[in-house]
Amino acid sequence: MCFARVFYPISVINMNILNAIGRSDLFLKVDLSKFPISIVALIVTIPLGVEAMVIGHVVTSFISYIINSYMPGKLFGYGALAQLRDMVPVLIATAITGAIVFVANSFVDNISLKLLFGATIGLVVYLITGNILK
């Protein structure tokens, strides 16, 4: 479910751009265009189980991001691919941090220590990786 929410903040910004420039008509059209996609994905994945529903949610979240970024991209020349290119360093820093925390926590048995140890290492690694990747 975390992967489904990776694109949510930038999708909301894209939709708010439409409202900020006074194009609530486009906001409504874009928002309504995503509804059938979500319904179809839900209908298709319900019989397949919870894992399929989660995968469907990840896919529809990415498709929603593409749809949400289309109009602002058309209006301002800053579309989905340009936004993704700007997000790459953050995604890399997050992946590196997650991998290191996962490996480091595999050596700790106590759940409380895992939380404390993982949070501390995660913060330090993310700050270092973020500074390196700018």
Report pLDDT digits (tens) over 49-62.
Answer: 999 999 999 999 99
Q: Rounded distance, CA 104 to CA 91, Å?
A: 20
Secondary structure of residue 7 in the 3-state scheme: coil
Domain hosting 72: range is 1-78
Could you tell me which residues come within 8 angstroms of residue 24 by beta carbon, excluding any fewer than 6 positions away?
A: 18
pLDDT for 40 beyond 90: yes
Asked if 59 and 101 sit in the same domain, the reply is no
Secondary structure of residue 23 in the 3-state scheme: coil
Asked if 47 and 17 sit in the same domain, the reply is yes
User: Average per-residue pLDDT in the chain?
Assistant: 88
Asked if 2 and 59 sit in the same domain, the reply is yes
Q: What are the tens digits of pLDDT across the range 42-99?
A: 999 999 999 999 999 999 999 989 988 888 888 888 888 888 888 888 888 988 998 9
Q: Is 94 exposed, middle or buried (0-12, 13-18, 19+ CB in 10 A)?
A: middle
Give the count of domains, the chain. 2
pLDDT for 124 beyond 90: yes
